[in-house]
Chain A
Amino acid sequence: MNRAIWAALIGHWRRNPLQWITLVAGLALGTALWAGVQAINAEARASYAAAAATLGETRFAMLRPTSGDAIAQDTYIALRRAGWDVSPLIEGRLRPSKESPVRLIGIDPLTAPMGLLPTPEGAQAEPTAFLTGPGQVFGPPDALDRLPATVTAARIAAPDVAPNTVITDIGVAQRLLGRAGKIDRLLLAPDQPLTRRPLAEIAPGLELIPPQESADMARLTDSFHLNLTAFGLLSFAVGLFIVHGAIGLAFEQRRAMLRNLRALGVPLPRLLALMALELAAFALIAGAIGVALGYGVAAALLPDVAASLRGLYGAEVSGSLALRPAWWLSGLALALGGTALAGAGALWSLARMPLLASAQPQARARALRPALQAALALGLLGLAWALALWGTGLRAGFVMLGALLLGGALALPPLLGVVLRLSQARAKGPVAQWFWADSRQQLPGLSLALMALLLAMAANVGVSTMVSSFRLTFTGFLDQRLAAELYVTAADARQAAAIEALADGPVRAVLPLMSVDTKIAGQPATLHGLRDDPTYRDNWRFLQSIPNAWDAFAKGEGVLINEQLYRRAALQLGDVIPLAQGLRLPIVGIYGDYGNPVGQVSLSESLFQKSFPQVAPRRFGLRLAPDQVPALQEELTQKIGLAENAMIDQAALKALSRSVFERTFAVTTALNLLTLAVAGFAMLMSLLTLAAMRLPQLAPVWALGLTRRRLALLDLARALVLAALTGALALPLGLALAWALLAVVNVEAFGWRLPMFLFPADYARLNLLALAAAALAALWPALQLARLPPAQLLGVFRNER
C-alpha cells in the first residue's frame, strides 16, 4: 500500500516540477547562505583554536613586561634559576615583498609546556636540525611558501599550526627578527615548583597574566561572527518564506487527491507519515545542495573575511576552507528543521481536514488571519522598542533587530491590505476597480514573497546606511588622525635619536608614538604618550571635553580617553583613573576612535616617559610639506639607514586603512545582495505558482472582453505596485534597522556610536533595483499569460477542476 500512496504523492511533483524546484531551490538557497556563513565562522574559530593551541595563549598563564617592551634573555635565565618554570616565546612578522606578513613565533622546545609544539607531517622533526644550524620552520604550507628568501631554515609542513603563522626555534627566530637576546613573553607551566622566589624580587618589570585573560580573540571577534550569523539567519528566514509557500501550495493542490486517497481507505496517520517522510527527503536533498552552494559562498567570501579579521583584530584566519562537520551538519539540520517548521502547518491542517471537505484549493487559508498577524506584528515591534530602550548587551541588540525585522515583515500584509482597499475604494473605472480588488485577492498568496522582499530591502537599506555612515565618519576620522605626512619606525636607539634630531631640519614636527598595553578600569587598553603639538590640537575632535582640555593635558593634569573605553568602563568626564603605579589622573576629554575596538588612554609625553621610562619611542610621525616627503625618505634611507618598509607615507597608510575598512564590509554587502536575490527568487516562484491557480479568476475577465495581453500587463503592473509599496514600507523599517545597528549593535560590538547619515540616492537606487527584480520576476508569468491558448481559459468554465 505504501508504494501505491507513494506513487500518488510523488505524481504531484512530477506533474508540477516547477513547484518542486521552488521548494528545493528556496530551501537550498536559504541553507546555502546560512551554511556559508557558518562555514566562515567555523573556519575562523578553528583558526583561533589553532592559534590558541600553537601559542598556548588560552591555556597558559604568562609573564609580560608591564612596559610593553621586550624581556631580556637574562631575565628569563634569572627566573628559571629562581625556580620559575617558564618558557620563552618571541613573536614577530616577516614581511615578504608585496605580500601580507607572516607571523613568526620562536619557542624553546625543551621548556615549552607539553602540547605547545607543532606536529609536522611525516616524521621530519629532528631535534638536531631544529635546534642547530639553520634550523627548521614549521607551518601551514601556504605560510611557508610566503616566507622571504632570507629564511634559510628548512621549511616543514605542519597543518595544525595557526594560519599564516610559522613556528621555529627561539634562537632561529631571534636571528630572523634581528632581536638577539630578546623575549616577548614567558609562558608559565600550569604547575610551578614548590620553592620560587617572588616575581617582584627577580623581575619587577614583569606582570603575571592569568590564562583566560589573554584568550580574548574569540571574545573580541564574537561580535563580528554574531553579525555574520545574523545575516545567515536572515537569509535562511527569507528562504523559509519560499519553502513555506511552496509546501502550502503543494498541500492545497493535493487536497483532492488526499481526499480521494482517504476515501479509498488509506489511514490518515500513514498518509501524514508518508508526507512527512517525503518532505524530509526533499529537505535532505535541498540541504545537500545548500551546503554545496554554501561552500562556494564561503570560499568566495573567506579571503575578505580573513582580511577583515586581521585588519580589525589582528586575528589570523586561514584563507582556505575546510569541510568541517560543524557547519555542514548545521546546514542540513537547519534545512530539516526549517522544512519541519514550514510543513508543520500544512500537515496539521491536513490532519484536521474533514474527509469530505471541499477539494478546492483555498488560497486564502494559507495566510494567517490578518487581525492575528497584525497583533503579532505589533507585539514584536513593541518588543523591539522596549529592547531599544532598556536592553543591554550585544545579544539583546540582535534580538531587537530580529523582533524589528520580523515585526515589520508581519505588519506588511495587513498594511498592504489597507492600502489596496483604500485604492480600490478610490478607483474609478471597472478595470481599475478589478485591478485593486484582484490585487487584494492575490495578497495572501504573495504576502510571503513580499515579506521576504521587505526583509531583504530593509536589511539592505539598514546595512548600507550603517556602512555608508561609518565610511563617512571613518574617512573623516582618518583625515584627522593621520595628519603626519610620513610615519617611520626606527630599528634601534641610534636611528630613533637621528629621527628625533630631524626636528631641527626640514621637518616641522617630530611626533613620537609610544604605547603600552595595560588594563584600565578592568578593561584591556592601550596607553599612548602624545607630544603636545598643534597636530593633535587642530585635528582631534572631542565628543566631550572640559574647557581647555588640551592645556590640562599638556600640563599633565589630565588624560584623554577614547569612546570605546568611555563606554565599556562606564567612565565619565572628570573621573580619576589609575594609569600606572602612583599615577592617577582625571579624564579631561573623550575622543572618537574608529580604528580598532580596544580602549585607549592618551597622556602627555612627559608623564608617559616618567611612568614608563623603559619604553623608548621607536615609531614617529613626521610633519613636513607633502612635496618634501620623497626627498626626506631618500635622505632617511641614505643617512640613517632606515629600511624601505620602515617608512609609510600618509597616503599609503590611509589607503591601507580604507582597504581594511572596505574589506570588512565587503562581506556584509555581498550577503546583502544575495539576500535580495533570494527575495527576488521568492517573488518569481510565488508568481509562477499563483499563475496556475489564477485561471478561474482571470477567465471571466478575459471572457468579458479584456485581452490576454492586457491582463498580462496588469499582472506586471500589479507586481510593480506591490514591490513599490513594499519598498516604501521597507524604507522606514530599514532606517530603524540602521539606527539600531549604529546606536545599539555597534556600540556593543565595537564600542563606538556613529552619527547616522541618510543617503536618499542610494535608497532610490535600491528601490529601482527592487522594482527591476519584481518586474523580472513577474515577466515570465506574464509572458506565459499573454500566450495562454484561449482553450485553456475556456476550460475553466467547462468542467469541475
Chain B
Amino acid sequence: MNAKALLLCIFLPLQAAAQGFAGLGTTPQDFTQPNPETVLRFPQDHGAHPDFRIEWWYVTANLTGPDGTPYGLQWTLFRSALAPERKGQEHQGWQSPQLWMGHAAVTTPNAHYVAERRARGGIGQAGVRAAPFEAWIDDWQMRGPDLDRVQLAASGTDFAYQVTLQATGPLVLQGTKGYSVKSAAGQASHYYSQPFYTVSGQLTLPEGPVPVTGTAWLDREWSSQLLAADQSGWDWFSLSFDDGARMMGFVLRGTQDFTAATWIAPDGTPTPFPDGAFMATPLDRQQVAGRDLPLTWRLRLPAKGVDVTIKALTPKAWMDVSVPYWEGPVTVSGSHAGVGYLEMTGYAP
C-alpha cells in the first residue's frame, strides 16, 4: 500500500492549515465510502473518482543503466477533494474542490532527485482521463492508448525522465477483488495494481542522459477514510522476484500493528493474506533527515515460503516535499532474489 493520503491532505502551503487540516483519521462527511460489493470496471476505473476523497496513480520502477548501475524512479499523481463531486457533474474553473499533487523522483546509488507539483482541478492544469489513458500535472504525464502501454515523463529543477512502460501481465486486484482493508476497525480502500511493466527510456541527470531498462509497478488506490484514528504511519513493500512472481505487503503502525500482503503468481493470480500472515522486522536503523529509519528489513510470508532480507539501494531516497517521507529502491536476497520498492511514512524526527 503506497498511501500518501496523509501528505495529500496537508499539501496546502498555508502554514496555519498545515497543523489544523484534517488528516486521514478524521471523519469524512459526504464522500462515498469504499464498498466491498463494488466491482471494479476498466477502463472507467483508471480515471478519477471525484466522489471519493483521495486517490492516486503511483508508479515505481527499478531500472538499470548500460553499465549495470541500478536506478530507482517514481512518478505519482495524487488527487484530494475538499468536497465530494458526482462523476460527470464536476465544477469547472477555480471553484473546483479537487486538488492535485505530483511527486517525481530518480534514485541513483549515491543520489536522490525529487520534485513536487501542485495544481487546482477544474482549470486543466492537472487531471486524469480513462481512455485513451492520460494522467497529467503540468508537463508531467502518463499517457498511452490504454494502461498497458504508457509514456511516463516528469522533470524537476535538476533532473528529468522520459520512459515507456509496457505491461507483460494482467492487472491485479488487491485485497478482496480490489477491496483492501487497512485496519481492524474496517478502514479500507479500492486498490488494484499493474506489477508487470517492463520499462525502457532515458533519465536526464546532472551528469548527463542515461538510457535505462527495467521493471515498473503501478498502484491505483482510492478511498475516503484510510487510516484508523490510532494509526500513525506505514511501511510498504513491493517486490519483484527474479522468478517472475510479485509480492506486496504493508504494515500499518498503530496501537496494534496491522499487516496485509498479496502474493502474485507469475501469471498474475493474486492470493491475499489477512492481518498477521505477513511479518516485517526492521534489522538496521540509520539516521536519515533527522529520523531513525530502518533501511534493512527481514520480511516473511511463511505461507509462501518467503523469508527475505531487503536492503535500500541508498539511504538518500528521502522525499523532501511538503510532507516528507522515504521512498526508494531495494534489493532482495534470501529465500527469493529480486528488486523492489520500500516506502516509509510517519516517522517522527
Contacts and interface: CB of A to CB of B under 8 A. Distances in A.
Interface of A: 73-74, 77, 80-83, 85, 108-112, 114, 117, 119-120, 123-128, 130-132, 169-172, 174, 180, 191-196
A657 to B, nearest CB: 38
A193 B21 contact: no
Contacts of B21: 126-127
Nearest to A74: B124
Interface in B52-91: 82-83
B123 interface: yes
B13 A83 contact: no
A77 B136 CA distance: 12
Interface in B86-137: 93-95, 97, 99, 115, 118-120, 123-125, 136
A194 B14 contact: no
A194 B157 contact: yes
A363 B94 CA distance: 80
B155 A109 contact: no
B83 A80 contact: no
A131 B82 contact: yes
Contact of B119 (A111, A112, A125): A111
B82 A73 contact: no
B335 interface: no
Given A77-B124, A80-B125, A194 B17 contact: no
Nearest to A128: B82
A83 B83 contact: no
A195 B155 contact: yes
10 contacts: A81-B139, A110-B13, A110-B99, A125-B14, A126-B17, A127-B14, A127-B21, A131-B82, A132-B97, A193-B156
B157 A127 contact: no
A123 to B, nearest CB: 5
A108 B93 CA distance: 12
Contacts of A191: 157
A80 to B, nearest CB: 5
A73 B138 CA distance: 14
B255 interface: no
Contacts of B14: 109, 117, 125, 127, 130
Nearest to B141: A81
B251 to A, nearest CB: 30
B248 interface: no
A290 to B, nearest CB: 40
B303 interface: no
A80 B139 contact: yes
Contacts of B124: 74, 77
Contact of A192 (B99, B136, B157): B157
Interface string B1-40: 0000000000011111101110000000000000000000
Nearest to A77: B124
B139 A125 contact: no
B99 A193 contact: no
A132 B81 CA distance: 11
Nearest to B15: A119
A169 to B, nearest CB: 7
Nearest to A112: B13
Contacts of B99: 110, 127, 131
Contact of A82 (B118, B120, B123, B139): B139
A125 B16 contact: yes
B204 interface: yes
A85 B89 CA distance: 29
Contact of B19 (A123, A172, A194): A123
B120 A108 contact: yes
A108 B83 CA distance: 18
Nearest to B159: A194
B158 interface: yes
Contacts of A132: 82-83, 95, 97
Contacts of A81: 125, 136, 138-139
Contact of B16 (A110, A120, A172): A120
Contacts of A85: 138
B330 interface: no
A170 B158 CA distance: 30
A112 B13 CA distance: 9
A276 B158 CA distance: 63
Contacts of B157: 191-194
Contacts, number: 98
Contacts of A120: 16
B82 A174 contact: no
B212 interface: no
A114 B204 CA distance: 27
Interface in B215-245: none
A119 B83 CA distance: 24
Contacts of A172: 94
Contacts of B136: 81
A112 B19 CA distance: 19
Given A81-B138, A109-B14, A126-B20, A193 B155 contact: yes
Interface in B149-165: 155-160
B13 A109 contact: yes
B79 to A, nearest CB: 13
A117 B15 CA distance: 9
Given A110-B118, A123-B20, A194 B204 contact: yes
Contact of A110 (B93, B120, B160): B120
A73 B160 CA distance: 26
Given A74-B124, A108-B94, A194-B160, 18 more contacts: A80-B119, A81-B125, A110-B119, A111-B119, A117-B14, A125-B17, A125-B20, A126-B21, A127-B14, A128-B83, A131-B82, A131-B97, A132-B97, A180-B93, A193-B139, A194-B157, A195-B160, A196-B139
B195 to A, nearest CB: 29
A170 B139 CA distance: 22
A129 to B, nearest CB: 9
A38 B19 CA distance: 40
A124 B16 contact: yes
B156 A127 contact: no
B139 A73 contact: no
A111 B126 CA distance: 12
Contacts of B82: 127-128, 131-132
Instruction: Pick from B83, B138, B157, B158 the residue with the most CB of A within 10 Å.
Output: B138
Q: Which 6 A-B pairs have the closest CB atoms?
A: A171-B94, A83-B139, A110-B118, A125-B16, A191-B157, A128-B82
B319 to A, nearest CB: 17
Given A128-B82, A169-B94, A80 B138 contact: yes
Contacts of A196: 139
Contacts of A74: 124
Nearest to B83: A132
Given A77-B125, A171-B93, A117 B13 contact: yes
Nearest to B122: A171
B17 A127 contact: yes
Contacts of B120: 108, 110, 131
A194 B158 contact: yes
A119 B16 contact: yes
A126 B14 CA distance: 8
B155 A194 contact: yes
Contacts of A123: 16, 19-20
A126 B159 CA distance: 34
B101 to A, nearest CB: 8
Instruction: Pick from B15, B16, B94, B160 the residue with the most CB of A within 10 Å.
Output: B94
A83 B83 CA distance: 29
B103 to A, nearest CB: 14
Contact of B12 (A109, A119, A174): A109
Contact of B95 (A114, A126, A171, A193): A171
Nearest to B12: A127
A81 B16 CA distance: 30
A353 to B, nearest CB: 65
Contacts of B159: 194
Nearest to A197: B139
A195 B118 contact: no
Contacts of B95: 132, 171
Contacts of A194: 155-160, 204
